[in-house]
C-alpha cells in the first residue's frame, strides 16, 4: 500500500494560505517571520487573483510555500487576461 509522507515538500506550483482578519495581522506575521530568520516576500496593496491584497510569503523547513494574506477589496475580473500571479 502506498503511504504518503505528510511532511514531504509540495510541488512548486502549490502553496498553502492563511487568511488574516486584517492587514495588521499580516504585519505581525511579517515581524514574527523576520524575527525567526525566515526569508520572506512581502506584497502590500497588490492586485492579484482579482483582489487587492496585503500578504507575506515564506517557505517552511520542508520547502512548502505559505502565504498569509488579507483581502483589502475585490476587483472586477478582466475578460482579456488573468493576472500573472494567478
The CATH number assigned to the domain holding 23 equals 3.10.180.10
For 63-83, what is each residue's pLDDT tens digit?
889 999 999 988 876 555 455
Task: State percent of the chain over pLDDT 90.
Answer: 52
Q: Is position 48 within any domain?
A: yes
Task: Label the pairing between strands 51-59 and 65-74.
Answer: antiparallel
What pLDDT score was predicted for residue 5?
Answer: 46
CA distance 32 to 34: 5
Q: Is position 85 within any domain?
A: no
Q: Is position 2 within any domain?
A: no
Q: Is position 25 within any domain?
A: yes
Q: Is position 31 within any domain?
A: yes
For the chain, what is the domain count? 1
Contacts of 85 (CB under 8 A, 6+ apart): 46, 48, 49
Q: E-strand spans in the chain?
A: 16-19, 41-48, 51-59, 65-74
pLDDT (mean) for 6-12: 52
State the residue range of the domain holding 45.
16-74
Q: Is position 67 within any domain?
A: yes
pLDDT (mean) for 6-33: 82
pTM beyond 0.75: the answer is no
Amino acid at each position: 500500500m502506498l503511504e504518503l509522507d505528510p511532511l514531504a515538500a509540495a510541488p512548486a506550483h502549490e502553496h498553502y494560505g492563511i487568511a488574516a482578519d486584517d492587514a495588521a495581522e499580516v504585519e505581525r506575521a511579517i515581524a514574527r517571520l523576520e524575527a525567526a530568520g525566515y526569508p520572506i516576500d512581502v506584497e502590500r496593496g497588490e492586485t492579484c487573483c482579482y483582489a487587492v491584497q496585503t500578504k507575506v510569503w515564506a517557505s517552511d523547513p520542508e520547502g512548502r510555500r505559505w502565504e498569509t494574506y488579507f483581502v483589502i477589496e475585490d476587483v472586477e475580473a478582466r475578460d482579456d487576461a488573468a493576472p500573472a500571479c494567478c
